[in-house]
Amino acid sequence: MTKKKKILVSFIMFTGVNGINAAIPFLLLPILTKYLLPEEYIIIDIFQNLSLFFMPIIGLNVLGSVERFYFDRDFINLPVYISTGIFFSLFTLIGFLAVYFLVDYNHLIPTIGDFPNNLIYWVVVYSFFTLLIEVQLSIWRVQVKPFLYGGLRIGKTIIDLALSYFLIVNLNWDWEGRVFGMIVSTLVIALVAIITLRRNQWLALSYRKEYVYQGISFSGPLILHTLSAFIIGFSDRIFVLEMVNSQEAGIYSVAYQIGMVMSLIQNSFNQVWAPHTFKVMKSESESGPVELMKANYLYAIIIFLLVPIITFLLPYIYSTFIGSSYQSGINIVFWVLLGYAFNGIYRMLVNYLIYIKKTKLIAFNTVLSAISNLVLNYYFISKFGVIGAAFATTVSFALLFLLTLRSVTKYFKLPWSLK
């Protein structure tokens, strides 16, 4: 099989896995929007997004570099590195929980709408066990093993869906049913991930302090990058929650989740394309950069064509799958789709900077975009209402793409003319 066919097959398989994985919770949307009020749905959305906030903080993102260091196995003992990262993350988890308990006990934590502060404990625990799952998934991604990857990821989603459905529909739980389903499914699959890592000799059960420093040196700046990306992807809900109300925030959250179908597509492609980009860059092939650029152009065309196609289908999606309380959010989805189209192109370009380990530059670009997002959210929501939050998301992702494009052209002479 040629390299092109191998990449295409891998992309199709990973896209299929991620498509199934994303379709399952999408099927839960009719249940959630039927049985839960927008004010309750926003609590679920906050829980999910806060977990994304805490994941890079736990262990200072040391485990986030496993996929990149996989290609440096001649210089680093990867099983020992993974074990070190897990132990270090566990230490920081325990430390955070202890500090948070003291601060929360003295009532020093501000509230986010109706989100219960004591739920933060579970957010952090959920984030830690999600990290363990992602370690195993990242190894299977770079090894191009979509069936193992899909089995673990889809298995988690099925447990999550089944338990959430049972608790909400049969036992009449509110948002607690969805959150409980997420936590239990993550704990179960994290245990499976640890067993498979150990069985396949990716865990050495040892600890090296120098690997902590090495991991932080690479991934530390990416904490700022990840947190800034979190701000771009989540601050809009906080602004809507505080500047409008929890009902509109819930409606906005459902619209945002539908728009994130674009994120599914870009994630599927990047999970295959990032390792391939690293391999091409390492091989220093003369034809490699041209092939990469051709794929970049084709991907950009496809991703932007999908925006009007999905927008055309929105009336059917809303009338068929979404509860009546959430219908007013349909006009928001287009802007979320467009924003994530820009984000998709950014993610292709940022692979070049990750390869040469310019993580500080990546962080700088993302921080600038995040700051602009905060300012734009306040201004656009004040001027246009709830849809202004979606405007801010689109502009911020477009800015991040332009900043990254500028950085890549500074360090690489890419064949933009395909010659």
What is the per-residue pLDDT across 171-205, written as a single tens digit (0 to 9) for each? 999 999 999 999 999 999 999 999 999 999 999 88
Q: What pLDDT, on a 0 to 100 scale, did the predictor assign at position 417?
A: 67
Q: What pLDDT, on a 0 to 100 scale, did the predictor assign at position 24?
A: 67
Q: What pLDDT, on a 0 to 100 scale, did the predictor assign at position 22?
A: 66
Assess whether pLDDT exceeds 60 at residue 1.
no
pLDDT band at 124 (very low <50, low <70, confident <90, very high): very high
Q: What pLDDT, on a 0 to 100 scale, did the predictor assign at position 324?
A: 87
Amino acid at 60: L
pLDDT band at 321 (very low <50, low <70, confident <90, very high): confident
Instruction: Please give the distance of CA 377 from its chain centroid, rounded to a whole number.
Output: 21
Phi/psi for 112 (5° steps) reads: -110, 95
Assess whether pLDDT exceeds 70 at residue 11.
no
Q: What pLDDT, on a 0 to 100 scale, did the predictor assign at position 10?
A: 67
Assess whether pLDDT exceeds 90 at residue 223.
no
Q: What pLDDT, on a 0 to 100 scale, did the predictor assign at position 399?
A: 95
Q: What pLDDT, on a 0 to 100 scale, did the predictor assign at position 25?
A: 67
What sections of 166-245 are H helices per DSSP? 175-199, 209-243
Q: Which residues contact 161 (CB under 8 A, 6 or more apart)?
A: 24, 25, 27, 28, 181
Tokens of 412: 């690489």
E strands along 55-178, which residues? Answer: none
- Asked if 131 contacts 58 with a C-beta cutoff of 8 angstroms, the reply is yes
Assess whether pLDDT exceeds 70 at residue 5.
no
Q: What is the mean pLDDT of residues 127-134?
A: 93
pLDDT band at 3 (very low <50, low <70, confident <90, very high): low
Separation CA 54–CA 41 (nearest Å): 21
Amino acid at 378: Y
pLDDT band at 327 (very low <50, low <70, confident <90, very high): very high
Instruction: Give, in order, the Cα–Cα distances in Å from 308 to each of 51, 245, 268, 333.
Output: 31, 30, 20, 11
Q: What pLDDT, on a 0 to 100 scale, did the predictor assign at position 290?
A: 79
Assess whether pLDDT exceeds 90 at residue 110.
no
Q: What is the mean pLDDT of residues 317-343?
A: 92
Lowest pLDDT segment from 187-201, 350-364, 378-392: 350-364
- Asked if 248 contacts 389 with a C-beta cutoff of 8 angstroms, the reply is no
Q: What pLDDT, on a 0 to 100 scale, did the predictor assign at position 368?
A: 94
Exposed/middle/buried for residue 127 (C-beta within 10 Å: 0-12, 13-18, 19+): buried
Assess whether pLDDT exceeds 60 at residue 406.
yes
What sections of 244-260 are H helices per DSSP? 246-259
Q: Exposure string (b/e) for 260-289, b if CB count within 10 Å is 16 or more?
A: bbbbbbbbbbbbbbbbbbbebbeeeeeebb
Angle at 259 between CA 369 and CA 266, to 5 degrees: 70
Separation CA 75–CA 308 (nearest Å): 47
Assess whether pLDDT exceeds 80 at residue 119.
yes
- Asked if 249 contacts 113 with a C-beta cutoff of 8 angstroms, the reply is yes
- Asked if 391 contacts 332 with a C-beta cutoff of 8 angstroms, the reply is no
- Asked if 393 contacts 336 with a C-beta cutoff of 8 angstroms, the reply is yes
Q: What pLDDT, on a 0 to 100 scale, did the predictor assign at position 113?
A: 75
Instruction: Give, in order, the Cα–Cα distances in Å from 228 to each of 59, 72, 222, 363, 364.
Output: 18, 28, 9, 8, 9
Lowest pLDDT segment from 49-53, 196-200, 279-283: 279-283
Between 167 and 104, where is the model more confident?
A: 167
Q: What pLDDT, on a 0 to 100 scale, did the predictor assign at position 211?
A: 86
Assess whether pLDDT exceeds 70 at residue 301.
yes
Amino acid at 26: F
Q: What pLDDT, on a 0 to 100 scale, did the predictor assign at position 12?
A: 73
| Tokens 């809303």 -> residue | 318
Assess whether pLDDT exceeds 80 at residue 154.
yes
Assess whether pLDDT exceeds 70 at residue 6.
no
% of the chain exceeding 90 in pLDDT = 42
Q: What pLDDT, on a 0 to 100 scale, did the predictor assign at position 56?
A: 83
Q: What is the mean pLDDT of residues 293-310?
A: 90
Extract long-range pairs of 147-150: CB within 8 Å, 24+ residues apart.
147/13, 149/14, 149/17, 150/13, 150/16, 150/17, 150/20, 150/21
Residue 115's beta-bridge partner residues?
112
